[in-house]
Structure 1
Amino acid sequence: MKLLSINLWGSKKRIKRVWVKEMCYAKNIQFLGIQESKMSKLELVSLKSLWGNYTFDYAVSLSRGFSGGIISMWDPIFFVKERIWCDDNFIIVKGKWVNLTSTFFMINIYGPQTLTAKANLWERLSNFIRGNEGVFVLFGDMNEVRNEDERFGSSFNVVEANTFNSFIVDTGLLDIPLSDRRFTWMNKAGSKMSRIDRVLVSHNAL
């Protein structure tokens, strides 16, 4: 499984789509997750330019207004879709990877801003995981950190972090560590940084 997850902050600019396409090609990506696409209507040409060709299947949660929007794309030669659930904050694709017997749930997440909305999202995903059998792979912009060390230059909310940590522990997920950097987001001035993008997998994925 070769997965790429990116918060694109808008997919309209061709230079961004070309950048994603080139990464997919260079890394032989089989499953692509885009957060904050800002795509308000389905545009197959734009999806094709992200992927590089028309050999893909997809699921899209369109943006509302000027923010949001989630895109999941995958190579049907490697991953065969069985069912899709779409929401403003996630896309769940149930299917099977070729040559693997387990059922996989590929969950592309774009986390909300407020404490209440985040807690609701983790509860809904927790209920979904408990109610289904298979291997769970959660990835994307969670818009949340796990501890104070994952923020720099901005306030740390211990209540939000504890709720997020409880979700990870209660669902038996593993947090895949970063290999080459401490933070995944930085403002333009470089004065604020945080690790809000991550990949979480169930124990049976390893």
Structure 2
Amino acid sequence: MSSSFCVLPILPMKILSVNIRGFKRDGKADWFKRMIASSSPIVAAVQETKCKKINDAWIEYLWGSQSVEYAVKYAVAIVNVYGPYSDEKKKRFWESLDSLCSFDNLAWVFCGDFNEVRSASEREHTNFVHRRASLFNDFIHSNGLIDVPLLGKKYTRISDDGVQFSKLDRFLVSTSFAHMWNDLYVSALDWKLSDHTPLLLQNGQVDYGPKPF
């Protein structure tokens, strides 16, 4: 009876940590590549890459080899929103949110009471102002945001007299955030103690019932 075994080489413990402050500035990508080649770490932890997308080819270029595995965690920014009512304040409001979205290295979540609807179908027994809705939709489309679907309710706000209904509350997320968690949806919670329904953002498969022919 014979047996065989192999001895795996023990690699030197070298872990490189770098706050790069943007790969696409001042030749930092080539500088990082030379650092990898000279120090030969087994793990490199990089912060503040400021890269919107990272793929296999980019990692292989930096590492100098195809024998590499990687994981990416994008920074998430959550903005709690309470939108103003007047037209003048709304204009400044959308401009301020636009300026936030210019930081495209972040995964964005905007949630709360936007105090605005996107279409006439999101209001009942209350005035719909097309100009205001257009500004809201322009903000969403120009920044590539996703209006996460709301399940279980059509409206999120009801007036004290129970006559006026509107969808003022929602979650808007960037595509990078949606890619981090698949199958996002919003569910409405109990709203007995408020004129606005609480909303819960979550992910997972949703059973919509049997499919019709």
2:81 alignment partner AA: I
Q: Which residue in 1 is equivalent to 2:153?
A: 181
Identity of aligned residues (%): 33
1:170 alignment partner AA: S
Q: Which residue in 1 is equivalent to 2:74?
A: 102
TM-score normalised by L of structure 2: 0.49
- What is the deviation of 1:115? 1.3
Counterpart secondary structure, 2:85: coil
Q: Which residue in 1 is equivalent to 2:139?
A: 167
- What is the deviation of 1:131? 3.3
Instruction: Report the CA distance shift for 1:188/1:100 in structure 2 as closer, same or farther (over 3 A).
Output: farther
2:117 alignment partner AA: V
- What is the deviation of 1:132? 4.6
Counterpart secondary structure, 1:105: strand
Q: Which residue in 1 is equivalent to 2:127?
A: 155
- Output aligned runs, 1:27-176, within 5 Å: 101-176=73-148
2:125 alignment partner AA: G
Instruction: Report the CA distance shift for 1:137/1:100 in structure 2 as closer, same or farther (over 3 A).
Output: farther
TM superposition outliers: structure 1 runs of 4+ over 3 Å: none
1:173 alignment partner AA: L
Q: Which residue in 1 is equivalent to 2:28?
A: none
- Structure 2, unaligned stretches of length 5 or more? 1-70, 179-213
Distance 1:145 1:115 in 2: 14
RMSD across aligned C-alpha pairs, in angstroms? 1.4
- Structure 1, unaligned stretches of length 5 or more? 1-98
Distance 1:106 1:159 in 2: 27
**Greater fraction strand:** 1
Deviations 1:108-159 (A, max 9, x none): 0000011121121111111121135210000000000000000001110000
Distance 1:200 1:100 in 2: 22
Give the number of equivalent residue pairs.
108
- What is the deviation of 1:172? 0.6
TM-score normalised by L of structure 1: 0.51
